[in-house]
Amino acid sequence: MALRTLVTRKTLRTLPLGFRGLQTFSLPDLPYDYGALEPAISGDIMQIHHQKHHQAYITNYNKALEQLDGAIAKGDASTVEGGGEPPKGSLGWAIDNHFGSIDALIQKMNAEGAALQGSGWVWLGVDKELKRLVVETTANQDPLVTKGPSLVPLLGIDVWEHAYYLQYKNVRPDYLKNIWKVINWKYASEVFEKECP
């Protein structure tokens, strides 16, 4: 990847001596024509993969670097530590106990969210009477309580197209895969501990 440096006057004033600025990446040209791999791989596939998918990885990486740089400059420790950090403590234990692992929970919620026809939500909740975690889906704007009066939401993922369409188009599974990077597990843990002391 080609390297470029973004330095502003403000950045220069706050950087430690010898720091050269925020380094970001740009999409390199392929060393061959998009159609060079035909007929095995079409030029259209190569162009879409390079200009859309590869470029998206680079763009998102650069955005993450810029957000990290901004968070460091502001002294925002929670952002620097990273959103979506898996839960620890009692919620982490309950997830392992009920689903096997955080990865198994994510896989289950992603599968149920992707399979939901039309608009709605996929929820991680706690049944406060049974002290058990549940994964449920609801249609449209229906809240989790419509699935049972003792259910309390710990987190909800909006799978209405308006939540992801501009960025992910109609590829809901990609949205579901990425949403976990920003899930507020701290809040979910606080609610869980309040409901299941």
Could you give the C-alpha distances from 16 to 19, 48, 111, 161, in angstroms and in order? 6, 41, 46, 44
Summary mean pLDDT of the chain? 81
- Percentage of the chain with pLDDT > 90? 38
pLDDT at 17: 37
| Both structure tokens of 78 | 């929670």
Question: With bands split at pLDDT 50, 70 and 90, how would you rate the model's confidence at 69?
Answer: confident
Could you give the C-alpha distances from 176 to 40, 122, 164, 170, 182, in angstroms and in order? 32, 10, 9, 12, 11
- Percentage of the chain with pLDDT > 70? 84
Cβ neighbours of residue 100 under 8 Å, at least 6 residues apart?
none
pLDDT at 150: 94
HSE-CB of 191 using CA atoms within 13 angstroms: 17
For residues 98 and 196, what is the distance between their CA atoms, to the nearest angstrom? 14
Query: Comparing 90 with 81, which gets the higher pLDDT?
Result: 90
Give the angle subtended at the CA of 54 by the CAs of 46 and 11, to the nearest 5°: 150
Q: Quick check: helix, strand or coil at residue 28?
A: coil
φ, ψ at 65 (rounded to 5°): -60, -45
For residues 57 and 10, what is the distance between their CA atoms, to the nearest angstrom? 28
Decide: 156 and 138 in contact? Cβ < 8 Å.
no
67-80: average pLDDT: 69
Judged against a pLDDT cut of 60, whether residue 47 lies above it is answered with yes
Cβ neighbours of residue 151 under 8 Å, at least 6 residues apart?
123, 125, 126, 127, 128, 134, 136, 144, 145
Cβ neighbours of residue 102 under 8 Å, at least 6 residues apart?
86, 87, 92, 95, 96
